[in-house]
Amino acid sequence: MSKPGGTQVRVIAALIMAPAAIAAILLLPTPWLAALAAVVFLTGLWEWLKLAEIDDTLPRTVLLTSNLLLMVLLVWASAGSMVLFQIVTLIGVVWWLLALLWLRYFHFGSDHQTYARVFKLMAGTLAIVPAWAALCLIHASPDNGHRWLFVALAIVWAADSGAYFAGRTFGRHKLAPRISPNKTIEGLLGGLLAGLLVAVAGTYFAGSGTAQLPGVLLVAAFTVLASVVGDLFESLIKRHVGAKDSGNLIPGHGGILDRIDGVLAALPIFALGKEIFGF
């Protein structure tokens, strides 16, 4: 019997992971989901630290623990209010806008010097902690917050899959050849279309009506674009160190960071949009 090809392995792994993730989002109370998400995000941070060339286990463990303590402190200081979570989420939005500038200046932080590591370590915290805060903020929101979190993630997943297949089928024009040679403008458009289609269905699934649909679609469009920025930024730091994947934990997908890179940028954008439009 022949071994499954790359696309088959990717699909099989997704079919295994997706039901578990969906069940956790829809069934777990927010504190339990927050704890589970912290484990996943911090695992991604562990891989990020390796890409930032923190090779020794002890320093990586200390840095990882520091980020965990930030999460614990955020929960402790919030005292039942989500204001701090909103502030941290907004910090994440600002960071990803700055990340666009870093993508523009491709070689910044690529010389393996101490200052480059410092910037990448800061970037790791600014990517992981606000995304986790945004996840908690969305899930804890009244009026089907757990469903809205599922919709937010489904938009990113659909956009990722749509971009993958549209790029393979129609891709001709490179999106960011120095950073990620396989990404194309056609793939971006395919991912955007897939994300918007999911947003339409997700609006009704989350209990909102046609009146909220324009706002949801606008937020979904920016969410998809943000997920692309997150994906490109991880590709940037991988190219700086000559890595193909952040790890090999997930067959066909690479590491945890390879799966959540788009989510890290998308969640703060979606959470902010949800707050602005009130859906």
pLDDT digits (tens, 9 = 90+) for 117-173: 889 999 999 999 999 999 999 999 988 999 999 999 999 999 999 999 998 899 889
For residue 39, the cross-strand partners are none
Query: Which percentage of the chain shows pLDDT scores above 70?
Result: 93
What is the rounded radius of gyration, in angstroms, for the C-alpha atoms of the chain?
18
pLDDT band at 1; cut points 50, 70, 90: very low
- Out of 17-21, 79-83, 255-259, the most confident range is 255-259
Rounded CA-CA distance 172/148 in Å is 34
CA pseudo-torsion sign 30, 33, 38, 44: negative
End-to-end CA distance of the chain: 50
Residue 21 CA to its chain's centroid (Å): 14
- Calculate the average pLDDT of the chain: 90
pLDDT band at 3; cut points 50, 70, 90: very low
Q: Quick check: 236 and 102 in contact, CB under 8 A?
A: yes
Rounded CA-CA distance 224/195 in Å is 7
pLDDT above 70 for 234: yes
Please name which of 185, 166, 161, 169 lies closest in space to residue 262, comparing C-alpha atoms. 161
* Structure confidence at residue 249 (pLDDT): 67
Q: Quick check: 257 and 44 in contact, CB under 8 A?
A: yes
Amino acid identity of residue 81, one-letter, is S
Question: Which pTM was predicted?
Answer: 0.91
pLDDT above 80 for 251: no
* 3-state SS assignment for residue 71: helix
Rounded CA-CA distance 268/126 in Å is 11
pLDDT above 60 for 4: no
Query: Which percentage of the chain shows pLDDT scores above 90?
Result: 68
Please name which of 128, 29, 123, 122 lies closest in space to residue 74, comparing C-alpha atoms. 128
Average pLDDT of the residues in 259-268: 95
How many CB atoms are closer than 10 A to CB 99?
20
Side-chain half-sphere CA neighbours of 179 within 13 A: 22
Amino acid identity of residue 159, one-letter, is A
* 3-state SS assignment for residue 139: helix
Residue 264 has which token pair?
């890290």
Q: What share of the chain is helix, strand, coil (3-state, %, to 5)?
A: 75, 5, 20
pLDDT per position as a tens digit, 157-215:
999 999 999 988 998 899 988 898 889 999 999 999 999 999 999 999 999 989 999 99
Q: Which of the two residues, 4 and 135, has the higher pLDDT score?
A: 135
